[in-house]
Structure formats: C-alpha cells, structure tokens
Structure 1
Amino acid sequence: MNAFISGFSLGFSLILAIGAQNAFVLKQGIKKEHVFVICFVCALSDAILIFAGISGFGYLVEQFPTLQTVAKYGGFAFLFIYGLKSFYSAWSMSHELNPLDQPTTSLAKTILLVLAFTWLNPHVYLDTVILLGSVSTKFGALAPLFGFGAMTSSFVFFFSLGYGARILTPIFQKPISWKILEVLIGIVMLSLAFMLLGL
C-alpha cells in the first residue's frame, strides 16, 4: 500500500503545476466541450507513459537523447503557435461574443489538440517516463503498484480539473473574462515554449 500511496503522491505533485495541457483542460471544462474525452485522453496518455517508464523505457530515452531534442523543438513550435493564437483570440474577440454560446469544436480536432499538448511536451517524458520510471525501481517487485498509484493520480486530477472547472462558469458568462483567460493562457504557452529552449 505504501508503494501505491507514494506513486499517487508523486504523480499528483508532478501534474499539479499549471501547464499547457492543464490550461487547455481547464478552458474546455469551462466551455463544457468534450470534457470526458479530453480528461480520458490526458489520463490514458499519462498511464501509457508511466507504464513505459516503469517498463524500462526511461533507460532507452537516456541512451538516445535525440528523442528529447526532437520533442523539445516540436513542443516549442506547437506551444509558440498556440500561444500566439490565444493572444489573437483575446484581441479579436468581440465584447458581445461569448465563447460559451459558440459552436463546439469537432471531437476529432479536440482529440488531436489534446494529443499534441501531451505528446509534444518534453517535460511529460522527463516526469512520467524518466523520473517516475527511476523512482519505481526503489520499490522492486512492488514497482507496478507504485505505477498504478501514479496512473490513478492522473485520472483523479484530470477529471477533477475538467469537471471542477464548471464552478467557474458564472464568471465566464462575461466575455471580458474570456479575454483575460486567453491572455493568461497565451502567457503560459509562450513562457513554457521558451522554457523548453532554456531561454
């Protein structure tokens, strides 16, 4: 049980920080758009990466740093473009236009965005594959239980964030709130993009 709790605690603490993925989940949760699918894809992706780390994939990534380099520059390009898109959205949004009343984004496009936020983020490999993978070795035969705890934390976190965001819905009835959110998301995206390059 100690292994499960350790995995849950460490996994939860690693995904708690506001990042590109979390900001996207929060935004879609407020809009109540494909929330279940978004939360499920995020949590499932984490589970796959955690499983890979515990299975020894972390060692492979350490041996081939090119994998991290590709992910780093791919992630920078994606976050940079999405950040600019958020700023443009905030600037062009009409004061009379409320995103809550707008047509929803297609499920396919939403899933592709979620996958990009997850798999193009080098930090997710460092956290789930390398860090959790290496820590799991300390638990020996109980490593799978540690991994299961970390996977559980991802499901708890993302579904709590996605569905908990609706509490903020009354605030976002006002279009100005969306402008502020888009600006904040833009700042987060660009900050993370430049952090990936070590700038």
Structure 2
Amino acid sequence: MKHIVVLTGAGISAESGIKTFRDADGLWEGHDVMEVASPEGFARNPELVLNFYNERRRQLNEVEPNQAHKDLATLENNYKVTIITQNVDDLHERAGSTEVIHLHGELRKIRSTQNENDIKVWEEDLKLGDTCEKGYQLRPHIVWFGEAVPMIEKAVEICYTADILVIIGTSMQVYPAASLIDYVQPNTPIYYIDPKPAMSNNGKVTVIAKSATEGMKEMLNLLS
C-alpha cells in the first residue's frame, strides 16, 4: 500500500471558519502574535495568554471539518496516510484521519510549565492557579515562537517514507515545517494545493492553485 504524507497549514482550517494570522498583518484575533504566542508574552501577561487560548479552544466547538478534511480521511481506504499539520485544531481527527502529527501542538491539550512531557487532554478553560501534580502552573500545549518543535524529527522520518507528498494550505515560509519538502525521496511526486501557491509547476511538483476543498477534488481525480 502506497504511503501518502500530507503537510497541512492554516489554509485548510480557514475554510472551516478558523481565523489565521498569516493574511492579517501579523495579528491573530486582534492580538500581536508575540503577545499571545511566545514565552515572553506568557511571562509578561499569563492571564491574557491563557484567556486567548481558552477562546480558541471554545471556538473548536463552533466549527466542523470541511470537505478537504473529509477527503483526506477517505484516502485511508486505499492508502496509508500520515498527516503532518501545523494546525493546532482537531479537525483532521474529527474528520476521521487516524494518523496525525501536530508540529505546533494541540488546543485540546495542556502541559506543565516545568515539564514539557507532562501533557494532559484539557477541554475546559485553563486559569491561573491550575497546576500540575507538582504544583507548577499549567500552560497551553502549543509550540510558541522561539521554542523547539519536538515532533520535527519524527516528521522528517515520515517524509523519508513518502510515496506521494501532498501540501495543502501553507505558505511554505514557516520553518522548520517548510523544510520537510526537502526530506522526501528524489522521485517522489508532490502535489501543492494553495490558492496563492509559493512554488510553481515543475517536473516534480504539480501545483493546484485552488482552495483546499476544490484542490482536493482535483487531486483525487489525478490519483484515480
């Protein structure tokens, strides 16, 4: 069974109504991203940061996976599929995908500020004073700017095994995620779906300059 590796970014979730900061002057839901997505921002104003992610977590209850998420899940009927996503939502899982690697963390998880491996599923609001068993404040399980990306090595290993690489809804400008394209085997076909693609067609890359939902329809036809 061929192995399809899929790299997804904000563009696929945007069609479900999840706002991104890529196209909005660096603001995320009205906040400077460094105030809500950096260790320094958390140190300055932890309550602001906790409330910001509480709102994002609650927003997940108001959105649903779109057709692109669902189409990726149905690929598992005929292929081994691994999704490597920069997104912190759970829309891939809710659409039915069974193997999802979150490079930048997950909104529905939290972790200890003292031990990054002390991770728990968390559905409710997280507040100042919520602590791990050792008494340290809990924080969102999100990879902030300036922090290491712990899942990147596993993602690299997965890309080595790809028979087909699909890239959806990402500007290919956020590192280290953007470097993953360099780790597929030389003859691996690549499909790049984005309405404003950051690369052009060549012998290796097939560019589909469409939204995630429309682009997935076209890619499924190309694979069939």
Tell me if TM exceeds 0.5. Answer: no
Q: Which one has the bigger helix percentage?
A: 1
Q: Which one has the bigger strand percentage?
A: 2
TM normalised by structure 1 equals 0.31
TM normalised by structure 2 equals 0.28
